[in-house]
Amino acid sequence: SLLPKKNLLGNPAEPSLRKSSDNDGTSAELPPSDDSSHLSEHHLGAWLDDPASHPCWPQKHSAKKVLNPMARARPGMNFLNTDEKVLGSILLNDSKASIRSNALRGNCIRANATEYIFWEPAKVKAVMVTCGGLCPGLNSIIKGVTNCLWHDYNVRKIYGATGGYNGLSAPDKYQMLELNPEVVREIHMKGGSILKAGRGGFDAPKICKSLQQLGINLLFVIGGDGTQFAGHLLYEEARRQRLPISIVGVPKSIDNDVLFVDRTFGFDSAVESAAEVIRNGWVEASSCEKGVGIVKLMGRDAGFVAAHAALASNLVDLCLVPEVKVTMEDVCEHVDDVLKRKKYMVIVVAEGAGQDLVATGEKDATGLAA
C-alpha cells in the first residue's frame, strides 16, 4: 500500500522512501511497505520497539543477541548474513516490467540460519496448525518442522493444534497434540494430516487470547492462499495488541497459488497424480468412436495443476483454466474439429474455468462464488 501508515502510537506516519536499483542500472524510490525486503514492520525485533526507527532494512548487524544453538554444536558452520539477499528478478530489459509488482525490486531476504536468533530456545513454546483442505506433504511438513526445532534449536515444547484455526479459537474443544521426534518418525508415510486439517474457525482476537493464555510464542501456519491471508490478519492483531508472538507461514497448496512462491508443498504430487488420470482418460477416449475424455482437476482461481499435468501427459487436446476466458461456441467448434481429425479427444478442465458462464451470483459457506 502507498497510503500513509500509522505507527504503534496511532499517529499518522509518512512512509520513508528508499532507493532500489533495477537491473538496468536505474534506481527507483520505493516506500518500505511496497518492498518485500523491508521487513521491519513484520519483525518482532523492530515493531516491538518502533518500526519507524529502522528505515534501513535489513540491518547489517543483527539486533538479535541469542546465539544460535547450531553455532555451538557445529563449529565452522556457515551462517547467512542478516542482510543477505536473493535477486528479485534475473531479467534484463524485461518486456513486462511495466506490469510487474514492485514488491521484489528491493530483492528478497535470503532464508536460512543466522548466527544470532530472536528467541531463547528454552523459552519457546511452538505450535503448528494445518488449515484448509488436505494436501500431499502435510505430514512431511509437520515432521520436518518438529525435527528442526528439536534437533537444531533444542526446542522441547512443540505442539500441534487440531482442526485448523478451530483448534486455536477453541483449544478447550480441540485436542492439542504434543509433538516430538518419536511421534513424527513415520507420519510422512501416511496421507492427510495427523493434525486433522479444517476450514473456518478463524477469529483473530480470540486466537491471540488463546495463544497468550497457553504461553505460545511461535506459531507455524500451514496452508494455502486463504490460510496465509488469515495468518497475516492474525499477525496484525498480535501487533495491535503488542503480543510477542512469531507467526510463520508455510505455503501448502495443490493449486500452487501463493504469490512469489515457485512451488508450494503438494503441487508436484498433484501434477504427477493428475497426469496419470489424464492417461487413463486417453485410454478410454481413444478406445471409442468419437470418444471424449473429460478430466476435471483442482484449481479454483489458478490453472497451474491443469496446465502442468496437460503438458506432462502430452495427450491433451483442450485445456481450460480460470486465467483464460472462453466462449462455449469456441469450445464446441474446437471439439468438432478435433473429433473430425482424430476421432477422439481429451479435455482437461480446472474447476474454476468458465466460472463466468455458470455463476449464480451467490456465495457458499466459505465465502467463495457458487
Query: Hey, which residues are catalytic here?
Result: 255
Amino acid 243 reads: L
DSSP type of residue 114: B
C-beta contacts of 149-153 below 8 A and 24+ residues apart? 149/124, 150/180, 150/181, 151/181, 152/69, 152/70, 152/113, 153/68, 153/69, 153/70, 153/117, 153/121, 153/124
Amino acid 101 reads: S
Measured in Å, how far apart are the chain's first and last C-alpha atoms? 30
List, in sequence order, every residue forming a beta bridge with 20; answer none if it has no partner.
Answer: 28
Give the Å distances, CA to CA, from 132 to 225, 342, 357. Answer: 10, 41, 26
By DSSP bridging, strand 108-109 and strand 218-223 are unpaired
Alpha carbon 73 to chain centroid, angstroms: 31
List, in sequence order, every residue forming a beta bridge with 60; answer none if it has no partner.
Answer: none
Distance CA 248, CA 345 (A): 45
Output the CA torsion sign for 47, 53, 59, 61.
negative
Amino acid 16 reads: S
Where in the chain does DSSP place strands (E)? 5-6, 12-13, 18-21, 27-30, 66-67, 85-86, 108-109, 116-117, 125-130, 157-161, 176-178, 218-223, 246-251, 291-297, 318-320, 344-350
Distance CA 225, CA 313 (A): 27
User: CB under 8 Å to 345, separation ≥6 — which residues?
Assistant: 285, 291, 292, 293, 317, 318, 335, 338, 339
Q: Is 12 helix (H, G, I), strand (E, B) or coil?
A: strand
Output the CA torsion sign for 100, 102, 103, 105.
positive
